[in-house]
Amino acid sequence: MRRAGWAAAFASFGAFASSSSRTPGSSAFSPRAFSLGLSVLALGFGGLGCGRPPADGVPPLDSAPLTASASASAVESAAAPVASAAAPAAPVLAPLAPEAAKALAEGPCVAGSNTRMFVSPLEPAANSELRVVALSKAVPPSEYVLLVEQGKAPVVVQAEPRNGPPSSALARFTPGAAGSLKAIAVRDGAAQHCETINVAATAKRLGRAGPQGLPWSATRAWDSAMEDLFSAWVEALFDAPDDEFFSASSLHEFTSDEERNFLHNHLGADEDQAPPKGLRLDPDCADLPYFLRAYFSFKLGLPFGFSKCSRGGGGQAPRCQDRQSNLDPLEEPIPSRWKRFETFARVTLKNSVHSGTGRTLAADDTTDYYPVPLSRESLRPGTIYADPYGHILVVAKLLPQVGDKAGVLFAVDGQPDGTVAKKRFWEGNFLFVQDEPAMGNPGFKRFRPITAAGGNVRALSNKAIAERTDWGDHSLEQSKLSSSEFYERMDLVLSPAPRDPEAALLNVISALEEQVKTRVGSVENGEKYFRDGGARIDMPNGASIFETVGNWENFSTPSRDLRLLIAIDVVQNFAKRVKAHPERFRLAAGANVDEVVSALEARLQKELGQRSFSYSRSDGSRFELKLADVVARSSALEVAFNPNDCAELRWGAEPASSEASTCKRRAPRDQARKMETARAWFKSRKRPSRG
């Protein structure tokens, strides 16, 4: 039995009044599934941003448990958590009085004007968990969800609110019997939306796909309601405490977690069990947004398309053509519905998309992504960020500015080994440069809306997107900004009110500290390779140090080190930024800007001298460094990306120092000469041009 009126209710809403405010609430999180710590990624950004060689087929279905990505030694070095810009704790809600709940339950079931509702699984069944998601463009749509079974007292479930946009609230309930069930979203004691759900006696299994050989059929269309649901799903999937940074070994560690994934086993095919019984999803950074979009489309019967694109070069930005979709039959027939999707994702999709697809020109119509304006409404979860050097991130969460705490944008990214980790927006993680045509246009972008007709998919043009009242957010704004203008604009979007300069300084120092500690794991990963008997790694020539595959990509850190050097510059120049833009900071009445700048520079030196971390030397002993040491060693870090060098040299130790006395491994002379040649790119903080 299907849920009555789902499509009608979901399609009956037009434009909504947008708002960036929210009622503060706690984040849902699964302590059972996640071990959290400061994120230290297993790999450096050695290769083509996040690229990997095409797969010949589906890799073996092995699986690793979900854990914090930090090695034991790196976790030992982790100090206090990074400063959070979280909203205040959720207020204690007044309980919904029994008489009020009874009155609401006995009233008519009326669709609200500003709230939508979604139910999973597709075929609700008695004695199985039912997930109800309420969505709104305004402040969170519900504090409670009232579940009313026939002949029983209404059950009041406190909803889990999330920021958005769109604002969402999730409630979970297990119906006790088959029959008609009312779900009522309640806010401030009033019904916001009601929907009737038909519950079957037993779950219907949907494991086998139809005979047509398609990855999946398109039975619904993309509209603003589906886009809102996609954003809410991405936010819920990667939700975590705001001051915790996690890393998981693969995307399926998230999708197989029923506390995170409100589409868990939505099709009733046990498709989200841990591999090999369920889906294995292991995207790198370029694949990650496509895997997320494809997974969501597969679950809900939506059309999904993607293009084969060039990487750019010879003065030309990447260009896309040859669009493929879920309506193209697979080469081999596969009876299992979820196996079809897995093959589509891990073979068809993974072998086609790469980081160049994110750097297409802003005005190009033949692309998978289109650029959006810099606003909270457009930078919603599910939006991607493409940097000019080939790395892709997916927006996962936005936190509003609260008092002296800046607004924050969190994103997730993938790595060549399938690792998925959380990142915060700042100059050290989100690079923005537009001074080379072959780079294309970096920045924030969304998936281009597509439609399906006659067995084909069609992507909307930029003009069509701009004219659609339910989209209307194609924008060339970012393509016209310089690097400094982009970051100033983003600062204004995330933190509209002037901030306390000292609090803002501590935020950027904490972000630098996070980046340094992340590098600890990358260097340790290379050390482990050699301790386990790994042979010397060949070093590519020229610009290929940034764009290659294999062990060099796995264990070298040229891209990461370039980002670290940029982050050091950001921290060191922060006081100058306050002087240049005092209007963005809350200075005391009559304060002398030069005195404020001097005080900030003094505080910077104090913090750099107090914050410490440690790394493992070649003999296994721990060596402690201060952030001040890292800043002072900027020049040495310009040639510290080679895993053939020992850890001591990779952290900038003087070769004749006591720190380096335990060093047992040096890069060969020919590689040392190559590194010195490459130093100019790191010194200028700019990647080499594409040929």
Residue 377 lies in a domain: yes
- Rounded distance, CA 615 to CA 647, Å? 8
Residue 76 lies in a domain: no
Q: Give pTM, 2 decimals.
A: 0.82
Task: Please indicate, yes or no, whether residues 169 and 252 belong to a single structural domain of this protein.
Answer: no
Task: Please indicate, yes or no, whether residues 265 and 320 belong to a single structural domain of this protein.
Answer: yes
Task: Please indicate, yes or no, whether residues 347 and 258 belong to a single structural domain of this protein.
Answer: yes
Q: Which residue, 448, 482, 516, sits at the end of a domain?
A: 482
The phi and psi torsions of 582 (rounded to 5 degrees) equal: -60, -20
Task: Please indicate, yes or no, whether residues 554 and 607 belong to a single structural domain of this protein.
Answer: yes
Task: For residue 634, give its domain range.
Answer: 501-684
Name the domain count of the chain. 3
Contact 103, 190 (CB under 8 A): no
Task: Please indicate, yes or no, whether residues 320 and 469 belong to a single structural domain of this protein.
Answer: yes
Task: Please indicate, yes or no, whether residues 186 and 227 belong to a single structural domain of this protein.
Answer: no
Residue at token pair 């070298």: 556
- For the chain of 691 residues, list the mean pLDDT of each consecutive stretch of 10: 36 30 31 27 35 36 30 28 36 79 91 91 94 87 88 91 92 93 92 94 75 86 94 96 84 95 94 93 92 96 93 86 90 87 93 88 93 95 92 94 89 85 88 85 95 89 90 93 94 94 92 90 92 96 85 90 93 95 92 96 98 96 98 98 98 96 96 97 85 49
Q: Is 49 left (phi over 0), alpha (psi -120 to 50) or beta?
A: left
- Rounded distance, CA 74 to CA 52, Å? 26
Residue 141 sits in a domain whose CATH number is 2.60.40.10
pLDDT at 118: 96
Q: Which residue, 421, 448, 482, sits at the end of a domain?
A: 482
pLDDT at 570: 93
pLDDT tens track for 232-289? 999 999 999 887 878 888 999 999 999 999 999 999 989 999 999 999 999 988 999 9
- Rounded distance, CA 240 to CA 497, Å? 26
Residue 47 lies in a domain: no
Q: How far is CA 276 from the centre of its chain?
A: 25
Q: Encode 72-114 in three state secondary structure.
A: HHHHHHCCCCCCCCCCCCCCCCCCCCHHHHHHHHHCCCCCCCC
Contact 406, 504 (CB under 8 A): yes
| Residue 72 buriedness (CB in 10 A; 0-12 / 13-18 / 19+) | exposed
Residue 378 lies in a domain: yes
Nearest to 389 by CA among 637, 50, 676: 50
Residue 119 lies in a domain: yes
Nearest to 266 by CA among 326, 216, 225, 221: 216
Residue 421 lies in a domain: yes
pLDDT at 436: 81
Residue 640 lies in a domain: yes
Task: Please indicate, yes or no, whether residues 577 and 610 belong to a single structural domain of this protein.
Answer: yes
Task: Please indicate, yes or no, whether residues 505 and 469 belong to a single structural domain of this protein.
Answer: no
Contact 168, 161 (CB under 8 A): yes
